[in-house]
């Protein structure tokens, strides 16, 4: 006669499989997250090379906007002529099209969209993803454009950011239980680094005037 498994044996096997899944799945999730971060960093690095070519040709950073500038232009109402400039200036993707042949470089691999812009605190519908809605996942240090600066004009090029993820939740967390925001950031000297929310906020303190 063939011996069947007992209920206890089946429960033990299920328990072992559950334990293994609990150990493996977080590791797999972390590996996927690291992979998305690596792709995103590579995109920003290549965009940095394209921006360097543009600045070489025009001796200033690109005259383009990110979605926050274009669709919540009131953030520039105190800048001289700010609202008119926002109305007349195209998105950065259009300006950079001759230098960025692969449009997917503007897509962060972790882009899941957002409802509130991190940098302005204003409502901005970036669903289902920021890239799908606006054609770009990365937001611009627009002041560089407004002040017609080039990298060599900056006092702190290694600490002044040019592009960054549109949301810190893409490479971090922002929910009821955790607010651990992280951003992939392209700096004016063309290096890319993953920063905490505090570190990213500090980059805004380096003047570009």
Q: Are 100 and 50 in contact (CB under 8 A)?
A: yes
pLDDT level of residue 22 (50, 70, 90 thresholds) = confident
pLDDT at position 25: 60
pTM assigned to the model: 0.85
Maximum alpha-carbon separation in the chain: 91
| Res. 10 pLDDT band, cuts 50 70 90 | confident
Instruction: Name the DSSP class of 127.
Output: -
CA 13 to chain centre: 43
pLDDT at site 183: 97
- Per-residue pLDDT averaged across 161-185, rounded? 89
Q: How confident is the model over 119-141, as a mean pLDDT?
A: 97
CB-based contact 143:66 (threshold 8 Å): no
Q: Distance between CA 43 and CA 164 in Å, rounded?
A: 11
pLDDT tens digit sequence for 137-150: 999 999 999 999 99
């Amino acid at each position: 006669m063939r011996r069947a498994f007992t209920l206890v044996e089946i429960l033990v096997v299920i328990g072992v499989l559950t334990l293994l899944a609990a150990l493996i799945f977080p590791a797999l999730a972390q590996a996927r997250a690291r992979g998305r971060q690596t792709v995103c960093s590579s995109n920003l690095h290549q965009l940095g090379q394209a921006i360097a070519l543009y600045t070489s040709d025009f001796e200033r950073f690109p005259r383009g906007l990110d979605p926050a500038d274009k669709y919540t232009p009131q953030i520039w109402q105190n800048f001289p002529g700010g609202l008119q400039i926002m109305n007349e200036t195209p998105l950065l993707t259009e300006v950079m099209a001759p230098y960025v042949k692969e449009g997917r470089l503007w897509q962060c691999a972790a882009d899941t969209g957002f409802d509130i812009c991190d940098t302005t605190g204003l409502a901005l519908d970036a669903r289902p993803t920021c890239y799908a809605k606006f054609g770009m996942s990365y937001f611009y240090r627009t002041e560089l454009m407004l002040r017609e600066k080039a990298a060599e004009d900056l006092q702190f090029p290694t600490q002044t950011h040019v592009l960054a993820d549109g949301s810190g939740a893409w490479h971090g967390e922002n929910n009821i239980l955790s607010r651990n925001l992280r951003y992939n950031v392209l700096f004016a000297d063309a290096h890319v680094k993953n920063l905490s929310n505090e570190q990213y906020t500090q980059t805004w303190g380096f003047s570009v005037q």
